[in-house]
Structure 1
Amino acid sequence: MFQKGDSVKKKVDLTKQARGRECTVRIPGICSFNPETSVLAHYRLAGTCGVAFKPDDQQAAIACNRCHDAIDGRIKTEYTRDELKLMHAEGVMRTQEIWRQEGFIK
């Protein structure tokens, strides 16, 4: 149960909410722009995750399968690791704004 002042307004499964949505990572030349493949792609940041656990769902971007594969290193791209991390981080911020507008977080 959430208490007054908690950052999540409603108990909602953000992983499920990510499905069928527009990709917020949008890697040029990689993104499929196919909402049917969208999932929640967690941003790995030191101190917020570990070997056996993922970061909180609020620290994630809605990503199509191609962008998710690129940021996780499953496909080779022309982008550096830092460029991919930046695009992923921007996607996290876009996703957080969507969740705020829809009342899932504040």
Structure 2
Amino acid sequence: MSKVRSNKIRKSARGQECTVRIQGVCNFNPETTVLAHVGKDRGMSLKCDDSFAVYACSDCHDWIDGRGMVMDEGTRAVYLLDALERTQSLLIEQGLLEVK
């Protein structure tokens, strides 16, 4: 079980490197990075828990939200799982996500 500090997690995205890093999509610009929700219960105006979110540049965020390059679901899942793992590791290091 995890304890999440949501507001701090959202703010922590500012200035971070993109953890999604989609080839041919990512702009690698930390000035555009936001917290992008990737959990099951997400969509326009619907957000899952912040522990199921990744640091995404503006272009990767557009891709996550379905705007841009289309790819098969298996490849999409690999990118998102890798990004979630990288983001959660950073959040744990920052003390923003506590794993018990």
The TM-score, its normalising length taken from structure 1, stands at 0.78
Distance 1:15 1:69 in 2: 17
Distance 1:32 1:40 in 2: 15
* Structure ranking higher in strand proportion: 2
Assess if the C-alpha contact under 8 Å between 1:42 and 1:61 holds in 2. yes
- How many percent identity over aligned positions? 40
Unaligned runs of 5+ in 1: none
Distance 1:97 1:44 in 2: 17
Q: Describe the shift of the 1:23–1:54 C-alpha distance in structure 2 as closer, same or farther (beyond 3 A).
A: same
From the CA coordinates, give the structure whose radius of gyration is larger: 1
Q: CA offset at residue 71 of structure 1?
A: 1.8
What number of residue pairs does the alignment pair up? 97
Give the secondary structure class of the aligned counterpart of 1:29: coil
1:24 maps to which residue?
19
The structure 1 segments of at least 4 consecutive aligned residues displaced by more than 3 Å after TM superposition are none
The TM-score, its normalising length taken from structure 2, stands at 0.82
Please tell me the root mean square deviation across aligned C-alpha atoms, in Å: 2.2
* Structure ranking higher in helix proportion: 2
